[in-house]
Structure 1
Amino acid sequence: MSDTRQTGKVVYPLAYVYLVSLLSSLSGQTNCVQIADYWKNNRPALESIFEDFPKQDISHDTVRRLLMLIDPDQFQSFYSKQVKPLLHQFTSRVVAVDGQAVRASKNSTQKNGKYILTFYDTDNGIALGQKLIGERHNEITYAADMVEGLDLRGSIVTADALHTQEKFAAKLIEQGADYCLAVKQNQKTLYYDIQLCFVDRLETRTLEIEKIELGHGRIETRRISVSPGNTLKADHLKKWIGLDEGTIIKATTEIVDKTTGQISSLDRYFICSLNWFNTHIAEQCARSVRRHWGIENDLHYVLDVDFFQDRTQCKNANYLQNRTLLHKWALGVIRQAQKEEENNTGKTAKSVKRYMAQFNAPSIALDALTRIIG
């Protein structure tokens, strides 16, 4: 990563500023004041590990200035190289796409705050890439553009109805991925035609699987119905590449409140390029639909609750992108540490918060980085 400062005046090398920022994020201390405090409190330990570590403390203003200095595209490229060793090539890994508002960054023109669009590998627990976008509707164009810079070969990319766009689907197929895209009434004709396909009594090829879960005082039944994509009219098949040999999906969720007995039900519809003749196609589709929620539950929620991302007050776009990417990097390392623990012990791993407390010691955090990233 290039440093535009005058070499003779550099007191704090970028490499150490970003390393300490990452170590601080790993311990749950994410804002500039906390990063500066982490530097001060752990400087003796860092000096013992790195001979050329700066011999003086850093101010939070300097941390902020240096996090603003780096070009986000360079940092994204660096990030991608670091997380690549962490990506295990699961068969048909599910990559979820969604935007997240950083609400504390809101202003008079963006009342919900700036949005970060993320591609998230739900199987590996790693964010593959992100992009800062202006208004929420701009996600549509950014998502298709981001596909070209990511290695999505062999994956199933899921997204909500906002991204059910022909250009996005075509880009995914072009890059060797499959898609599973939600369909709502923003695609009225397609939405109603899929509904009709699942009530057509002459269609006998529909496959169904059902799963019942108990918990939180309710009984939840999830039913997945899958039909071949060529059930749809030819007009739709011409528009959506891969759908002629793919599938259409109806996902029904029925919830019974065990206390009141009240029943609620919701139907959702999807188009999917997974080949209808694949072995266990219904199970594949069910997994794709279910795994999409990983980006909300395992990424966005954790970033807001454990990394306080929703409270990031910022006007500078570079700073916001680099800070949020640091959070994702730290979370990715913790996720791999959790998997490593589960593989070694056969038991449920410690929580993210407990790992943060453990990584407060630089020597332990650096050992984990060396072991996990290499």
Structure 2
Amino acid sequence: MSQIPLLDRIMQLKDPRQPAKCSHDLGEVVFMTTCALLCGADDWNSIEFFAHEREDWFRQYLQLPGGIPSHDTFNRVFSLLDPLQFRELFTTWVQDVLIDTPLSGVVAIDGKTVRGSRGRHHGAIHMVNAWASEAGIALGQLKVDAKSNEITAIPALLDTLAIKGCLVTLDAMGCQKRIANKILKKDADYLLAVKSNQRKLHSELSDYFDGYWATHPEDAPGSCFIAEDASVHGRQEQRRCWVTHAMEELPAASSWQAKTIAAVQLDRQTPHKGTTLIRYFIASKVMTAEEVLQATRQHWHVENKLHWVLDVAFSEDHSRARQGYAAENLATARQIALNLLKQDTTAKLGIKNKRKGCGWSDRYLFHILGLIK
């Protein structure tokens, strides 16, 4: 992948400040912040310290008319930067990255709260994120309006994504006809978890599978798939999935343009107790039981490979950026840094250690930024 367009795009950001009152270039401030995030900095003070320590290196690439900004200036610039413009930069850059390898497979969408952004007069910001499980990169994110919820943010996020041919997975919060129709209009398919917030649909699916299990003590060929998970810390898990494509018997599901309905049963056994959980799904394309089970597992990559990594490797939940748009823009900058690090295959390390590598080695940092091959 080429990172040069990213640097070019950063330098083309429109500055919301009054030019006569600015001594630091907006693009340069954003670029220094991105480099600092790559090298392990997590707050404005550490970003300023990193920039001072690397001033000689930055002067090879940047003008730095006002020298190195203070931590207050980094904060102020990110608090004023238009988050819509910055998100557009991010999503367009991701599309550039994927131009030679069109996006495919599961695109998982889920929400995450940036807990440290909670202020005295406002709650913590909540972001809706999109994760490409096969490509292993973040595709985009959108802040949920303080007076709204994910249901209104998801369609707006979908509008920014190029997801043709992908399978979009969502939990029960996203199981809305408006969202399903939006996905289909994007020439993609959906796999939606169904719970009691869609009472009629959920009742139809649960009644159908209850009837199937009552009349089929042995599963019909091709209707069921079983996956065993290896024992971890004394815990054993088994997942079973049943599907049907007999939509003529399911008028509620048919009204969603669904072509597959599925039930997934998780049996978990520990040394002291066992639990069973059954979840229901609808899909807009014909899928086998194995394909549904695989897609439901891949959906959780957004939690395990994006949200967890942002918290553990980037300390996102501890970030206290709160002024203006700072928290939202810094969240976007973290995902830019994460994608840069994710795409590197030369170092077999986790994200946290790759960040250390960028801080320790100029050569590795230049490689991540695409300045050397």
2:68 aligned partner, one-letter code: D
CA drift of 1:140 comes to 0.3
CA distance 1:229–1:158, shift in 2 (3 Å): farther
Q: What CA distance in whole angstroms lies between the structure 2 residues aligned with 1:300 and 1:229?
A: 37
CA distance 1:322–1:224, shift in 2 (3 Å): same
Q: Tell me the alpha carbon deviations over residues 251-271 of structure 1, each in whole angstroms, 9 at most, x when there is no partner.
A: 1111121x33x2211111111
Q: Tell me the alpha carbon deviations over residues 70-125 of structure 1, each in whole angstroms, 9 at most, x when there is no partner.
A: 211111111122222333747741111111111122246765x2201112112222
Pair 1:126 & 2:133 matched: no
Residue in 1 that maps onto 2:50: 38
Query: Any gaps of 5 or more consecutive residues in structure 1?
Result: 343-348
Pair 1:225 & 2:249 matched: no
Q: Tell me the alpha carbon deviations over residues 185-215 of structure 1, each in whole angstroms, 9 at most, x when there is no partner.
A: 1112211211122233468576211111122
Pair 1:351 & 2:367 matched: no
1:341 to 337, 346, 352: 346
CA drift of 1:7 comes to 4.0
1:310 aligned partner, one-letter code: D
Residue in 2 that maps onto 1:75: 86
User: Residues 45 and 362 of structure 1 are in contact (CA less than 8 Å); yes or no, is this contact kept in structure 2?
Assistant: no
Q: What CA distance in whole angstroms lies between the structure 2 residues aligned with 1:227 and 1:137?
A: 35
Pair 1:177 & 2:188 matched: yes
CA distance 1:325–1:356, shift in 2 (3 Å): same
Count of residue pairs brought into register by the alignment? 353
CA drift of 1:356 comes to 0.7
CA distance 1:81–1:371, shift in 2 (3 Å): farther
* Deviating more after overlay: 296-305 vs 52-61: 52-61
1:217 aligned partner, one-letter code: G
CA distance 1:91–1:67, shift in 2 (3 Å): closer
CA drift of 1:173 comes to 0.4
2:262 to 242, 246, 249: 249
1:98 to 110, 120, 123: 110
CA drift of 1:232 comes to 4.4
Q: What CA distance in whole angstroms lies between the structure 2 residues aligned with 1:180 and 1:310?
A: 29
Residue in 2 that maps onto 1:298: 305
1:252 aligned partner, one-letter code: Q
Query: Any gaps of 5 or more consecutive residues in structure 2?
Result: 1-12
Q: Tell me the alpha carbon deviations over residues 333-370 of structure 1, each in whole angstroms, 9 at most, x when there is no partner.
A: 11111xx237xxxxxx2111110111114453132221
CA drift of 1:229 comes to 5.5
2:254 to 237, 251, 260: 237
Q: What CA distance in whole angstroms lies between the structure 1 residues aligned with 2:20 and 2:283?
A: 57
2:266 partner SS: strand
2:328 to 321, 324, 337: 321
Pair 1:213 & 2:221 matched: no
TM-score w.r.t. structure 2 length?
Answer: 0.87
User: Residues 193 and 232 of structure 1 are in contact (CA less than 8 Å); yes or no, is this contact kept in structure 2?
Assistant: no
Residue in 1 that maps onto 2:33: 21
User: Residues 23 and 66 of structure 2 are in contact (CA less than 8 Å); yes or no, is this contact kept in structure 1?
Assistant: no
Q: What CA distance in whole angstroms lies between the structure 2 residues aligned with 1:84 and 1:371?
A: 20
User: Residues 68 and 319 of structure 1 are in contact (CA less than 8 Å); yes or no, is this contact kept in structure 2?
Assistant: yes
Residue in 2 that maps onto 1:263: 274
1:219 aligned partner, one-letter code: Q
Residue in 1 that maps onto 2:6: none
Residue in 1 that maps onto 2:370: 370
Q: What CA distance in whole angstroms lies between the structure 2 residues aligned with 1:8 and 1:366?
A: 33
CA drift of 1:181 comes to 0.6
Pair 1:158 & 2:180 matched: no
CA drift of 1:231 comes to 5.3
CA drift of 1:233 comes to 2.7
2:111 partner SS: strand
CA distance 1:109–1:185, shift in 2 (3 Å): farther
